């Protein structure tokens, strides 16, 4: 092979090396992702209160879980709505962003707390 032929072959060698390097990186990324622990089941609860009354939301849990009040809004100005939670080991009102732990299996029920027409949401995970 002449020097000219060697120089012409050089770009294809570089391209092949780059492709092999990219495949190796992709392969390592896939293997690293397989090592992560799968997160537990997350349940979203949404409740409302309107002219017809309260419309709670419930879910069953099989073990201790964390419950977070995500949002609570009212159509009445200058009010501070919140999430009312009834769960194993807890019954009370949570402000937006606050969390509590249910102590074991049972039913988690969300109702909205406040004045006027309300909408609230909580996460159980």
The encoded tokens of residue 44 equal 């979203």
Tell me if the domain spanning 43-124 has CATH number 2.60.120: yes
Q: For residue range 78-108, list pLDDT tens digits in order.
A: 999 999 999 999 999 999 999 999 999 999 9
Q: What is the pLDDT of residue 40?
A: 74
**109, 96 Cβ separation under 8 angstroms:** no
pTM over 0.75: no
C-alpha to C-alpha distance for 124 and 68, rounded to whole angstroms: 7
Sites in the chain below the pLDDT cut of 70: 1-39
* 16 C-beta neighbours (distance < 10 Å), count: 10
Q: What is the pLDDT of residue 92?
A: 96
Q: What is the pLDDT of residue 7?
A: 47
Q: What is the pLDDT of residue 41?
A: 83
């Amino acid at each position: 092979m002449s020097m000219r032929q060697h120089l012409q072959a050089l770009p294809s060698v570089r391209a092949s090396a780059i492709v092999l390097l990219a495949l190796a990186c992709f392969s390592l990324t896939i293997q690293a992702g397989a090592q992560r622990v799968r997160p537990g089941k997350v349940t979203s609860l949404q409740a409302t209160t309107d002219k017809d009354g309260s419309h709670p939301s419930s879910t069953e849990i099989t073990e201790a879980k964390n419950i977070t009040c995500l949002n609570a809004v009212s159509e009445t100005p200058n009010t501070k709505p919140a999430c009312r939670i009834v769960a194993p080991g807890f019954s009370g009102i949570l402000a937006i962003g606050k969390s509590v732990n249910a102590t074991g299996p049972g039913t988690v029920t969300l109702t909205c707390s406040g004045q006027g027409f309300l909408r609230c949401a909580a996460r159980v995970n």
